[in-house]
Amino acid sequence: MNQELKIARRKRVKQKIRKRVIGTSERPRLTIFRSNTAIYAQIIDDGANKTIVSCSSSIKEISAEKGKKVDKSVAVGKMLATKARSAGVNSVVFDRNGYKYHGRIKALADAAREGGLIF
């Protein structure tokens, strides 16, 4: 599949998801961005247009670890869950941002669930 077509398809899927998934102050939105080298996750309150918690695999603690990208995604999920719980967030709405729910996306989501986030 052509790269432009893949990007356009992800954009369409992302727009469909964002029509339905809205983060509130009681249940903010957990969104993920995946690049070839890193993975980024944010918990966002769409009502206040504010990022509550963010974490990525490019921070020192996680990027210093050796291992596969899936392992780093698990570390990001666990760290995000601990930061969210300390910020008072227990329940979130999951926004996969147009990506398929497998691999690194699934690993991050499962790790966040193990860390105590409910979604």
pLDDT in tens, 5-23: 999 999 999 999 989 988 8
For the chain, the structural domain boundaries read 23-114
pLDDT at 24: 86
pTM above 0.85, yes or no: yes
Find out whether 76 and 55 touch, Cβ atoms under 8 Å: yes
**pLDDT per residue over 6-65, tens digit each?**
999 999 999 999 899 888 889 999 999 999 999 999 999 999 999 999 999 999 989 888
E strand spans, the chain: 29-34, 39-45, 50-56, 93-95
Contacts of 92 (CB under 8 A, 6+ apart): 23, 27, 28, 29, 30, 43, 84, 112, 117, 118, 119
Assigned CATH for 23-114: 3.30.420.100
